Amino acid sequence: MTARLVYAAIAAALVLADYASKQWAYGRLRTGPDIEVIPGLLSFVYAENPGIAFSLFNSGSSTTRWLLVGFSLATAIAVAVAALRTPASDWRSQTICALLFAGIAGNLIDRVQTGRVIDFIDAYVGTSHWPTFNVADSAISVGAVLLALELFRKPEPAEADVKSGNESAQNS
């Protein structure tokens, strides 16, 4: 299996995990009681978000829905293009792209199907709650943190030569 297929498989597995977990949440939590997983820290609670992170742009209007679909689709395409332009051997960047693409695609599926994203993971300490999220949101968040770390990481000398196009330094 080629390296690119491995990253595509990771992204596909995350999209499937996100979809399956949202279907479970819809069937189990929408009408049933919440599930306290770790008392005082983690619960499963059904929520729908017509907007984006932190419920921004959550008007629920058809125009907003399709603008968010368009933005998500354009972003997913940009991430896929970045992955294809990045060497398959660059496992850090490929992992980041796989996480970002999976998260964007997972939420895009909900947005196209229903106009809302299903959220169900509620992390909290006492009465302080983080906004409810899902598997796709987690993939985006982890990918974004890894991207930020990657941007500040000092490249190793061989990496810097390859990225600058000076491959002869590597061959000597």
Distance CA 48, CA 10 (A): 26
Give me the catalytic one of 18, 110, 122, 137: 137
- Confirm whether 161 is a catalytic residue: no
Distance CA 41, CA 83 (A): 36
- Confirm whether 137 is a catalytic residue: yes
Give me the catalytic one of 18, 110, 119, 122: 119
- Phi, psi (5° rounding) for residue 156? -70, 155
Contacting residues for 68 by C-beta, under 8 A, at least 6 apart: 51, 52, 57, 111
Q: Which residues are catalytic?
A: 119, 137
